[in-house]
Structure 1
Amino acid sequence: MSRRESLSLDEFALAARRQAPAGDDHRRFNNLEAHRGLDSPLHGPRDPRQEARKALRRMKRERVKGETCFVNVNLDRPTKRRLKLASFNAETSMQAIMEQAILKYLDDLGL
């Protein structure tokens, strides 16, 4: 197809929209939509290994929630080289040096 040719909407097949049932069936429909994927005769049993992985991931997320935050800092090349050399000489990580520098700066400001 060349650039000048274009497709019209009539050339695409569209699926019909799903209609929500009325009355009491509407509540049942909403209940099924809210619990989609849970153990049910419609969807079958869930994989226990996958459930365990999700639970572990949730537990780890809760444990580290609020503990650490990350900050990105743009450094020019000479400053980055100096920081890398300082971390090598002090046998610490660049992150530890940055944390100490930020804490010292904030303490000096009295914040």
Structure 2
Amino acid sequence: MSRREHLSLDEFATAPRKQVAAGGVNLRPQDSATRSPEPPSSKPEVEVDMRLEARRALRRVKRERVKGESFFVNVSLDRQTKRRLKLASFNAETSMQAIIEAAIVKYLDEIGA
């Protein structure tokens, strides 16, 4: 296609739009004759209570999930310390993270924090 050629919107296949009924309920054209609008709920308070309870339950689940999360701390190390840590990690067959975590726990225990 050259720069001078332009496509029009008529050249693209598009899906037909849904018709909106007076009550705000989306109906497809073939369903509008066979389906009547649903009556409004007789118990809106129950629906509101169910929604609130669902929100509270979701918040509780999120809080429980956050309790078990681990948090990250960035540490700036000089080149020599990083090499020593990497070598100790290799020799002990453990991760550098595990060594740093153990060192932090030991330090905090020593100072009584």
TM-score, scaled relative to structure 1: 0.43
User: Larger % of helix: which?
Assistant: 1
Larger gyration radius, structure 1 or structure 2: 2
